[in-house]
Amino acid sequence: MGTAGSASTNSTKPAMRDSLIAAAFQLFLERGYEQTTVDDIVTLAGVGRRSFFRYFPSKEDVVFPDHEQCLADMTRFLAASADSDDPMVRVCGAARLVMRMYAENPTFSVQRYRLTREVTGLRTYELSVVWRYEKTLGDYLRTRWADRRDGTLRANVAAAAVVAAHNHALRHWLRSGGEGDPLAEVDSALEFVRGTWSPDAVVAAPAEEAEDVVVVITKRSTPMWRVVREVESSLGES
């Protein structure tokens, strides 16, 4: 996160990277994202422009400072999978890593969510990040299902369903202002998706709606796109 030099000088002093993030979001909230420049950020943080670009390739990257590490963690988690592991259980576990990243700093996560809702360019950037997560999951599933005739289609649709379920839970938590247990929410959503891949699955709804039980019954010949549509419809995703 920071340099060894800054930590040894003063253990309570924020790392330079964290200082840049804090300065950036202070200015974004005060002035607006578009009105804030990199020069403004480094001036407030008390560092030079070179220091900024040492950590962040662009202004957009300072809004999403943790995704590269999270993608790396997800890739390692999937690579460590054993042949005996259920592929769907594994990709759901990988998606949970992303939610855990958001949950580690609720205040920052909520601020970022509100900022991205206001700035079109950031929403576009965010979609590119989501696509990279989905691709990482899909790559893993394609490898695990390489011997299936429908392996590529199955992997693509399953990865998209996992991402949709994760994002459903994430948005619900962020819209609440970071209240509640986001990991419990994403576990319920991911369990729903995981259950749709088992022909006899009965999947429970989230705890706050425990009186509702959703049963997904499909024929083996049902197209995967139709299964995913049923998943998204049952989740109530707009």
Mean of the pLDDT values across residues 13-35?
A: 87
Residue-range domains of the chain with CATH: 4-62 (1.10.10.60), 66-235 (1.10.357.10)
How far is it, in rounded angstroms, from Cα 232 to Cα 143? 25
How far is it, in rounded angstroms, from Cα 67 to Cα 72? 8
The H helix count followed by the E strand count for the chain is 12, 2
Is residue 130's pLDDT more than 90? yes
pLDDT one-digit tens code per residue, 144-191: 999 999 999 999 999 999 999 999 999 999 999 999 999 999 999 999
In this structure, the number of other CB atoms found within 10 A of the CB of residue 133 comes to 22
pLDDT one-digit tens code per residue, 207-232: 444 445 455 555 666 666 666 666 66
Is residue 3's pLDDT more than 80? no
Q: What is the pTM of this model?
A: 0.73
What are 93's two structure tokens? 């576990």
What are 72's two structure tokens? 């790396």
The distance of Cα 172 from the centroid of its chain, to the nearest Å, equals: 13
pLDDT at position 219: 60
pLDDT at position 196: 79
How far is it, in rounded angstroms, from Cα 17 to Cα 54? 9
CB 64 within 8 A of CB 116: no
The residue ranges of DSSP E strands in 96-166, in sequence order, are: none
